[in-house]
Amino acid sequence: INHIVHNGGLYKRPFNEAFEETPMLVAVLTYVGYGVLTLFGYLRDFMRQWKIEKCQNATEREEQKDFVPLYQDFENFYNRNLYMRIRDSWNRPICSVPGAKVDMMERVSHDYNWTFTYTGRVIKDIINMGSYNYLGFAQNAGTCQEAAAKVLSQYGAGVCSTRQEMGNLDKHEELEKLVARFLGVESAMAYGMGFATNSMNIPALVGKGCLILSDELNHASLVLGARLSGATIRIFKHNNMQSLEKLLKDAIVHGQPRTRRPWKKILILVEGIYSMEGSIVRLPEVIALKKKYKSYLYLDEAHSIGALGPTGRGVVEYFGLNPEDVDVMMGTFTKSFGAAGGYIGGKKELIDYLRTYSHSAVYATSMSPPVVEQIITSMKCIMGEDGTTVGKARVQQLAENTRYFRRRLKEMGFIIYGNEDSPVVPLMLYMPAKIGAFGREMLKRNIGVVVVGFPATPIIESRARFCLSAAHTKEMLDT
């Protein structure tokens, strides 16, 4: 089903998203597959209980056997029976830079994935389609690394204090000014962890008596932040503007659920690119709705900053909109900048408020100096301020890679989700057996991919996800 574009006039460029429905036969087979696995699971549990089969989990201490059990049996059912069989597709340890090609430590399992032993051999030069390395800044040589090495020898690795106490280094101030300039906002603030940025700042902005409208497929950090804030949460269908508008209308007209008092604030939480679907948010429509109903917009650009837009400024630039329309622009440095951490950008009053009242500024250690230096150098490179055009070239290379890869996969007949321009490419697999088989077969051909199934995706829609990078060359993609 192709989504029809409403308000076509707001879009300055074609917006093609496609989410093909799963063919009926495949859906039935998938359910059958899961049914068989569940039956086998019960059978094996039964055998384990009657000690016919050996029980290989870790167990509780002898002295504590009469305590209330720590885990419910049913919770672990999925873990024991389904996850264990294909566990070797995840948590693969690597021992080199997570660039376009990686070296992976080989591991074998002699007892069906309950334990792994490392053979000590290293599989070299696996094409890496799994790391979030969009602009290829995960390098161990070059200007970024040299700058980071210098800062490391000068400042040390840690900071040992919080931002508000003694941890605010001059490097942090430099970084924040740079981020604000990059995004085109008044001011910005940086934090040590992307997940924590969301979960600690949403509670500082909204509280009881406020309404949060969040997309169906928002990331765990946004959901956790919304829950911790204590505000009422309502969910609208993924990227569906009619659903959002209906919720907004109802909220303003009816007010809070029992008291009918008007809401204090309404905050809309959306992401730039959704990592499991590969879809891009319909930002022009969201901004139009936000202005009409006087609510506030919180945009999480974890995957889209650096990856979209002609100069890598993210989804706001991709649509050609004004960054001042978005009230809170949040993003992470892990994906496109090859470092770690998160930031929030916006008006000066917002950032001043966050400097005083954010949980992270008061209680959490500030960012490590070499990481800060890596972000500063890579951001300057993308903006072109270091005098070369390497940054712009990388952004363009990523866009080309994306288009080429998607086109070729479609030609080969696979079902691909998501927007034409998003560098996250999910390829549908559906059947549980295929998940494990796909991962292992690709590894045999020296390609490392990421497969995801339940619970990160709906149960019949498991997929393999490719993350494209500017460092991938055409030959690598052809393989």
Site for another protein in 285-304 (CB under 8 A): 292-296
Burial class of 409 by CB neighbour count within 10 A (0 to 12, 13 to 18, 19+): middle
Q: Is 161 in the site for another protein (CB under 8 A)?
A: yes
Q: Is 314 in the site for another protein (CB under 8 A)?
A: no
Q: Which amino acid is at 454?
A: F
If the CB atoms of residues 292 and 407 are measured against another protein, the closer one turns out to be 292
Specify the stretch interacting with another protein by CB under 8 A; choose among 20-28, 231-239, 315-323, 350-358: 350-358
Least separation, in Å, of the C-beta of 446 and another protein? 14
Among 82, 127, 144, 460, binds another protein (CB under 8 A): 144
Taking the C-alpha atoms of residue 390 and residue 386, their distance in angstroms, rounded to an integer, is 9
Considering only residues 391 to 450 of the shown chain, the ones binding another protein according to CB under 8 A are 448, 450
Q: Is 227 in the site for another protein (CB under 8 A)?
A: yes
Q: Is 233 in the site for another protein (CB under 8 A)?
A: no
Q: Is 179 in the site for another protein (CB under 8 A)?
A: no
Q: Is 479 in the site for another protein (CB under 8 A)?
A: no
Distance (Å) of CA 338 to CA 12, 281, 402: 31, 24, 19
Distance (Å) of CA 252 to CA 230, 247, 266, 312, 339: 19, 9, 9, 36, 41
Neighbours of 311 (CB within 10 A): 15
Bridge partners (DSSP) of residue 214 are 235, 269
Specify the stretch interacting with another protein by CB under 8 A; choose among 40-48, 159-167, 382-390, 405-413: 159-167
Q: Is 116 in the site for another protein (CB under 8 A)?
A: no
Least separation, in Å, of the C-beta of 376 and another protein? 11
**Residue 213's Cα: distance from chain center in Å?**
19
Among 132, 182, 274, 438, binds another protein (CB under 8 A): 132
Tokens of 369: 């100096």
Neighbours of 428 (CB within 10 A): 20
Those residues with Cβ within 8 angstroms of residue 140's Cβ, 6 or more apart along the chain or in another chain = 97
Q: Is 38 in the site for another protein (CB under 8 A)?
A: no
Least separation, in Å, of the C-beta of 127 and another protein? 12
Q: Is 149 in the site for another protein (CB under 8 A)?
A: yes
Bridge partners (DSSP) of residue 191 are 342
Q: Is 124 in the site for another protein (CB under 8 A)?
A: no
Q: Is 335 in the site for another protein (CB under 8 A)?
A: yes
Q: Is 138 in the site for another protein (CB under 8 A)?
A: yes
Least separation, in Å, of the C-beta of 236 and another protein? 18
If the CB atoms of residues 198 and 239 are measured against another protein, the closer one turns out to be 198
Q: What is the DSSP string of 371-414?
A: HHHHHHHHHHHHHTTTS-SHHHHHHHHHHHHHHHHHHHHHHHT-
If the CB atoms of residues 280 and 471 are measured against another protein, the closer one turns out to be 471
Taking the C-alpha atoms of residue 327 and residue 191, their distance in angstroms, rounded to an integer, is 18
Answer positive or negative: Cα dihedral of 6, 324, 217, 440: positive
Q: Is 84 in the site for another protein (CB under 8 A)?
A: no
Q: Is 471 in the site for another protein (CB under 8 A)?
A: no
